[in-house]
Structures are given as C-alpha cells and as structure tokens.
Amino acid sequence: MSKVDRRVLKSQEAIKKAVLELMAEKNFDDITIRDISERANVNRGTIYLHYTDKFDLLDKIIEEHINNLRELCQSASEMTFTEGNYVWFEYFANNHLFFSTMLNTKSAASFRSRFLDLIVQEYKVEVDVTEGKNQGLSEDVIVQFFAAAVVGAVEWWFRNGMPLPPRIIAEQTGVLLDRNL
C-alpha cells in the first residue's frame, strides 16, 4: 500500500471540513464547488482531482463515517451496550461537525437513513424472539424500534448542544438497550 502525501491528506480534510461548515450555513443545493474551494483555501482543480462533484464529496464523507462506525461495532462486539455506546458517543463527540451537520440539516437526510440502516444491521444479531421478554414479537419491529430510538437519542443530543457528556448518554442509552434487548 502506497503512502499518501500529507499535503493531499491536509487538502482533503480542508475540503471535507469546508463542505460541512457550508452545509451548517446554507442548503447543500446552494453550495458550489467555488464556495468549497474558497472555504478550504484550495483550487477548484484540487477538489476535482479527488471528487467528481459535490455530491461525490458528500457521499465519500458519509461513507467514511459509516465505515468507521461499522468498524467500531466490530471492535465492540464483546462489550455491553453501555460500553459499546460509549465508544460510539466518543466518536460522535470527536466528529461533532459532521454529525451535528448530518443530523440537523434537511439536506443530509440520506445520512440519517444510512445511519439507521447501520444500526438495524448491527442490532439484528442481538435480538432473540424465541424466548424471554421478546418471545413472539416480530424481530423486524424490535430492531426498527430500537434503531429509531438510538438515532433519535443521538439527534436529540446534538440538537441540544450535547447536554450530557458522552459517558453519561452512553450509560443511559446502554441501560435502556440492556433492559429491553
């Protein structure tokens, strides 16, 4: 695997940050490549060197975070819900600009859908409808219910300026999941 030039990484990070900052200020449809290049302090050609257009840029940013969350799930597979949630909420807090933009703007509805799908995939293996308190219930209903609850809690957390530290929100959502799954 070839080593990526630090200047390239620095430009890509500046471009990603610029588009997210602009999305927090105005509708994605109103953002131009020129806006992004000016905010990132790079030439328009630099953006086109890495991305087809602004839609490709946004898609790649979303895909990067979804993949990171998926990897966090795999590394947390032996943890309790509370411990696993803490890993996620720390990641959310460390990537505040991305998540607050994606969960608080109408132009990022596709992220919410992909985030929900990821949670459904990850929780599906945790549901047991053959015995216990969920016996006889639909696995799909259970998973959709809890995935929507998790997404809703994360949205609430960002919309309200992260009023609880990551550890506390992780513990509280983890307790709720542990009680019910």
Domains and CATH numbers, the chain: 1-51 (1.10.10.60), 61-180 (1.10.357.10)
Q: How confident is the model at residue 2 (pLDDT cuts 50, 70, 90)?
A: low
Spatial distance between the Cα atoms of 119 and 84, rounded to a whole number of angstroms: 12
Measured distance CA(15)–CA(161) in Å, rounded? 25
Cβ atoms of 28 and 107 within 8 Å: the answer is: yes
pLDDT given at position 57: 96
pTM tops 0.75 = yes
Q: Tens digit of pLDDT for each residue in 9-32?
A: 999 999 999 999 999 999 999 999
Secondary structure of the chain: what % helix, strand, coil (to 5)? 80, 0, 20
The stretch 42-71 carries a mean pLDDT of 95
Q: Which of residues 151 and 77 earns the better pLDDT score?
A: 151
Residue 142 to residue 77: CA distance in whole angstroms: 19
Average pLDDT estimate for 78-92: 88
pLDDT at res. 75: 87
pLDDT tens by residue, 92-107:
999 999 999 998 877 6
- Name residues whose C-beta falls within 8 Å of residue 90's C-beta, 6 or more positions apart in sequence: 166, 170
pLDDT of residue 127: 83
- Read off the tokens for 140: 């799909």
pLDDT at 152 over 90: yes
- Can you say whether the dihedral through the CA atoms of 25, 27, 28, 33 is positive or negative? negative
- State the average pLDDT over residues 49-69: 95
Instruction: Answer whether residue 170 shows pLDDT above 60.
Output: yes
